[in-house]
Amino acid sequence: MYAVQLYTLRDQSSLSDTLHRLAGLGYAAVEPFDILTDTAGLRSLLQETGLQVRSAHVPIIGERRQEVAEAARVLGLDTVIVPFLPPDDFADAGAARKSAEAVNEAAAWGAEHGLRVGYHNHNWELAQWDAFLDALDPAVFLEVDVYWAQVGGADVPELLRGLGERVRFLHVKDGPANTTDAMTAVGDGVLPIKDILAAAPHAQRIVELDRFDGDIWDAVSRSIAYLREVEA
């Protein structure tokens, strides 16, 4: 089952058209980055298109967590992900440990409300990755963004093998592996995608392009075609 992080298609004018088109391409699921704006409308579109939602990026650290819990209930969602903590929160080992404590607190609150909480990385966490993980509650799962992990200096297949089943989701993306240039369709860049996928066979694959020069729909279509080919 392949999914798309909807941030990839954030510039599309119609969520309805976007979801119908994704379903037509063969995607089975989506990962929303906003479940609070029109939760009922999102639920209706998911039912209409047959797309599943197994995870979502949500502001569970902060003042909107009760809204998150309610929206998740409406969507039938029990898995949410902290999408971002800023670079300053990983400035050194001490800061990384405090960041882990914030995630742990959110995860404890989530558990009381029927939610399992995960964390999604960018590149800046990698410098303090060990300190962060050492302080992170084992109940917190990981959504590894393979592109940003590589930009942060990781050998991504080795990283994934070391993390094992703690990794429940992969953000699968490709490109030149730097912080400035546009990304590519999966399979068109420099990341060792086949080795990455093989290192986490159990993890949900979620295609994402943070930025792309060209027809985003062509990239989304070619990405699922590539994944189907290499994982056939």
Averaged over 21-33, what is the pLDDT? 98
Structure tokens at 107: 């995860």
Residues 6+ apart with CB under 8 A from 75: 35, 39, 42, 43, 46, 53, 56
Structure tokens at 38: 């029109």
Q: State whether residue 142 is helix, strand or coil.
A: strand
Angstrom distance (rounded) from CA 167 to CA 38: 29
Question: What pLDDT, on a 0 to 100 scale, did the predictor assign at position 23?
Answer: 98
For the purposes of burial, counting CB atoms within 10 Å of the CB of 188, is it exposed (0-12), middle (13-18) or buried (19 or more)?
Answer: middle
Beta strands 29-31 and 204-207 are: unpaired
Tokens 């290499």 -> residue:
230
Angstrom distance (rounded) from CA 42 to CA 219: 24
Question: What pLDDT, on a 0 to 100 scale, did the predictor assign at position 70?
Answer: 98
**Model confidence band, residue 173 (pLDDT cutoffs 50, 70, 90):** very high
User: Could you report the per-residue pLDDT of 142-152, keeping only the tens digit for each?
Assistant: 999 999 999 99
Question: What pLDDT, on a 0 to 100 scale, did the predictor assign at position 151?
Answer: 98
Please state the CATH superfamily assignment of the domain spanning residues 2-230 in this structure: Divalent-metal-dependent TIM barrel enzymes (3.20.20.150)
**Model confidence band, residue 211 (pLDDT cutoffs 50, 70, 90):** very high
Tokens 């490109």 -> residue:
175
Question: Domain limits of the chain?
Answer: 2-230
Averaged over 196-200, what is the pLDDT? 98
Q: Of the candidates 172, 189, 175, 58, which has an alpha carbon nearest to the alpha carbon of residue 118?
A: 58
Question: What pLDDT, on a 0 to 100 scale, did the predictor assign at position 182?
Answer: 97
DSSP 89: G
Note the pTM of the prediction, 2 decimals. 0.97
**Model confidence band, residue 26 (pLDDT cutoffs 50, 70, 90):** very high
